[in-house]
Structure 1
Amino acid sequence: MTTLTLPSEDTFSPFAETIYKQKYAQPGEEWRDTARRVVETVMKPYFPELVEEMVEAVATRKFMPGGRYLYATGKRFHQTQNCLLLKVEDSRESIADLLQRVSSGLMTGAGIGIVWSALRPNGATVEGMGGTSTGPIAFMQMVNEVGRHIMQGGARRSAIWAGLHWNHPDVLDFIRLKDWSDDIKAAKEKDFNAHAPMDGTNISVILDDGFFAAYEDTTDPMHDWAQKVYWEVVEHMLTTAEPGFSVDVGENAGEHLRNACTEVTSSDDNDICNLGSINLARLHTKEEFARLVELGTAFLLAGTCYSLVPYERVAETRTKNRRLGLGLMGIYEWLVARGYRYEANEELANWLDIYARSTEIAARYAARLGISAPVKTRAIAPTGTIGILAETTTGIEPLFAVAFKRRYLKGKEWYYQYVVDATAKRLIEKYNLDPEQIETAYDLAKDPEARIAFQAWVQQWVDHGISSTLNLPAADQQEFTHQEFGEMLFHYLPKLRGVTAYPDGSRGGQPLTVVPFWEADGAEGIEYEEIGADSACVGGVCGV
Structure 2
Amino acid sequence: MSDQEISLVVLREKYAKDGEQSHADVFRRVARALASVERDPRLWETRFFDAMGSGFIPAGRIMSAAGAGLEATLINCFVQPIGDSMSEPDTQNGKPSIMGALAKAAETMRRGGGVGYDFSRLRPSGARVNRTRSTASGPLDFMDLFNAMCRTVESAGARRGAQMAVLRCDHPDILDFVTAKSAGGRLTNFNVSIGVTDAFMRAVEADQEWELVHTAEPSDQLIESGVHRREDGKWVYRKIRARELWEKVMKNTYDHSEPGVLFVDRMNSENNLWYCETIEATNPYATCGPPAQSGVDNPT
Q: TM-score range by the shorter chain?
A: 0.7 to 0.9
Q: In the TM superposition, what is the alpha-carbon distance from 1:509 to its structure 2 partner?
A: 11
2:235 corresponds in structure 1 to none
Q: CA RMSD in A?
A: 2.8
Match for residue 14 of structure 1 among 5, 8, 26? 5
Post-superposition Cα deviations, 1:195-214, rounded to whole Å, max 9, x if no partner, equal x1111211010112332343
Post-superposition Cα deviations, 1:444-474, rounded to whole Å, max 9, x if no partner, equal xxxxxxxxxxxxxxxxxxxxxxx5xxxxxxx
SS in 2 for 1:239: helix
Q: In the TM superposition, what is the alpha-carbon distance from 1:39 to its structure 2 partner?
A: 2.2
Question: Are 2:143 and 1:117 aligned?
Answer: no
1:66 corresponds in structure 2 to 59
Alpha carbons of 1:69 and 1:509: their partners in 2 closer, same or farther (altered >3 Å)? closer
Question: Are 2:229 and 1:226 aligned?
Answer: no
Q: In the TM superposition, what is the alpha-carbon distance from 1:50 to its structure 2 partner?
A: 5.2
Tell me which amino acid in the other structure corresponds to 1:149: T
1:56 corresponds in structure 2 to 50
Q: Which runs of 5+ in 1 are unaligned?
A: 1-9, 185-195, 264-466, 468-497, 512-544
Alpha carbons of 1:127 and 1:133: their partners in 2 closer, same or farther (altered >3 Å)? same
After superposition, residues 194-205 of structure 1 pair within 5 angstroms as 196-205=185-194
1:520 corresponds in structure 2 to none
Q: Which runs of 5+ in 2 are unaligned?
A: 88-96, 212-238
1:500 corresponds in structure 2 to 290
Q: In the TM superposition, what is the alpha-carbon distance from 1:175 to its structure 2 partner?
A: 0.6
Post-superposition Cα deviations, 1:254-294, rounded to whole Å, max 9, x if no partner, equal 32321122x1xxxxxxxxxxxxxxxxxxxxxxxxxxxxxxx
Q: How many residues align?
A: 249
SS in 2 for 1:20: helix
Aligned counterparts of 2:11 and 2:291: Cα–Cα separation in 1: 28
Match for residue 195 of structure 2 among 177, 197, 206? 206
2:83 corresponds in structure 1 to 89
Alpha carbons of 1:213 and 1:109: their partners in 2 closer, same or farther (altered >3 Å)? same
Contact 1:242 1:501 in 2 (8 A): no
Post-superposition Cα deviations, 1:119-149, rounded to whole Å, max 9, x if no partner, equal 1101111011100001100000111111112
SS in 2 for 1:79: coil
Q: Return 139-148 or 167-176, whichever deviates more.
A: 139-148
Question: Are 2:154 and 1:151 aligned?
Answer: yes
SS in 2 for 1:91: coil
Alpha carbons of 1:76 and 1:107: their partners in 2 closer, same or farther (altered >3 Å)? closer
Contact 2:112 2:157 in 1 (8 A): yes
Aligned counterparts of 1:240 and 1:220: Cα–Cα separation in 2: 26
Match for residue 259 of structure 1 among 283, 292, 296? 283
TM-score normalized by structure 1?
0.42
Q: In the TM superposition, what is the alpha-carbon distance from 1:508 to its structure 2 partner?
A: 9.1
Question: Are 2:137 and 1:134 aligned?
Answer: yes
Tell me which amino acid in the other structure corresponds to 1:117: S
Aligned counterparts of 1:126 and 1:13: Cα–Cα separation in 2: 58
After superposition, residues 81-480 of structure 1 pair within 5 angstroms as 81-93=75-87, 94-180=97-183, 196-216=185-205, 222=211, 225-248=241-264, 249=266, 250-252=269-271, 254-261=278-285, 263=286
Contact 1:121 1:169 in 2 (8 A): yes
Alpha carbons of 1:18 and 1:125: their partners in 2 closer, same or farther (altered >3 Å)? same
Aligned counterparts of 1:98 and 1:84: Cα–Cα separation in 2: 12
